[in-house]
Amino acid sequence: MAAYAQDAIMLLGDSITQGGYEFNGIAARLAHVYNRKMDVINRGYSGYNTDWIIPVFEQIFATQHEQQHVPKVRLLVIWFGANDAAVPPKAQHVPLERYKANLSKLIWMVSSPESPRYSPDTRVILLTPPPVNTIQWSVRQASKDPPQQLDRNFEVTRTYAEAAKEVGRKEGVAVVDVWTKFWEGAGKVEADLKKYLTDGLHLNEEGYAVVFEEITRTIAERYPEYHHDNLRFVFAL
């Protein structure tokens, strides 16, 4: 039973977050640079969208009453959209307006004094979903047993990325625009997104490396007090 030793970074997201300890991924990279400074709590849930995460988030983020006993979440990284943008009749689909409302709700849950989970020490970073490479993803879908239809659309995912940016501006939180970073890095050629993606949807090592660079740059700019270079070891010789 671990006592409260270090504050934490919570990564809230879908399978792209859940996979963040593999491939030298985003969770492993953050945990490495924040060693002995902050713990990284991976709360990535494969398959989840913003509708389904809200009742989970209510259970994993402490209420004000509970907060005195548990590590403070200094940084909350919210990264959804890859599943919300699945096209109907896919069960994961969340309509664009509700996706935006859900993101706002998640931010409200930690940042509003009216919220039972109000946490004034928590800074939010909102990530846009990566662009989908439907050339890769259709191969992956066809390889399933039984074969699956293509359930993602390049332009639709783009609108979800734009929507996340809009929510970030409206709510005044930092945004890491993964979508644009990958799209520009791939020379705006869908097939070349394979540079960052294993299967058209999930990230490979280079994809995670880019996201790590963008997150730490954003922390330095927006929340420098929580940048790893500005924190001391909790226990030092």
The half-sphere exposure of 232 on its side-chain side, counting CA atoms within 13 A, is 4
The Cα 85–Cα 38 span in angstroms is: 32
Say which residues have a Cβ less than 8 Å from residue 71's Cβ, sequence separation at least 6: 4, 5, 6, 7, 8, 39
- Say how far apart CA 102 and CA 13 lie, in whole Å: 13
Task: Confirm or reject binding of residue 207 to a second copy (CB under 8 A).
Answer: no
For position 48 contacting a second copy by CB under 8 A, the verdict is: yes
Range in contact with a second copy (rule: CB under 8 A) among 40-48, 94-102, 130-138, 193-201? 40-48
Size of the site for a second copy (CB under 8 A): 46
Give the pair of three-digit tokens for residue 190: 């869908």
Out of 51, 54, 60, 105, the residue judged to bind a second copy by CB under 8 A: 60
- CB of 46 vs a second copy, minimal distance in Å: 8
Give yes or no for a contact between 105 and 154, defined as CB atoms under 8 angstroms apart.
no
Judged by CB under 8 A, the residue of 11, 13, 16, 29 near a second copy is 29
**Token pair in block for residue 83:** 């599943």
Report the distance separating Cα 190 and Cα 183, nearest Å. Answer: 8
The stretch near a second copy (CB under 8 A) out of 43-51, 132-140, 149-157, 188-196 is 43-51
Check if 15 is active-site.
yes
Other residues' Cβ atoms within 10 Å of the Cβ of residue 37? 18
Q: Does 39 bind a second copy (CB under 8 A)?
A: yes
The 90-129 site mask, x for binding a second copy (CB under 8 A), equals -----------------------------x-xx-------
- Structure token digits, residue 36: 């002995």
Question: Tokens for 153?
Answer: 């659309």
Largest distance between two CA atoms of the chain: 58
Nearest distance from residue 192's CB to a second copy, in Å?
26
CA distances from residue 59 to 54, 56, 137, 141 in whole angstroms, order as listed: 9, 5, 33, 33
Nearer to a second copy, 142 or 234 (CB): 234
**Residue 184 CB, nearest distance to a second copy (Å)?**
28
Active site amino acids = 15
Binding stretches for a second copy (CB under 8 A): 1-5, 8, 10, 18-19, 21-22, 24, 27-29, 31-32, 35-36, 39, 41-45, 47-48, 52, 56, 59-63, 66-67, 69-73, 119, 121-122, 235, 237
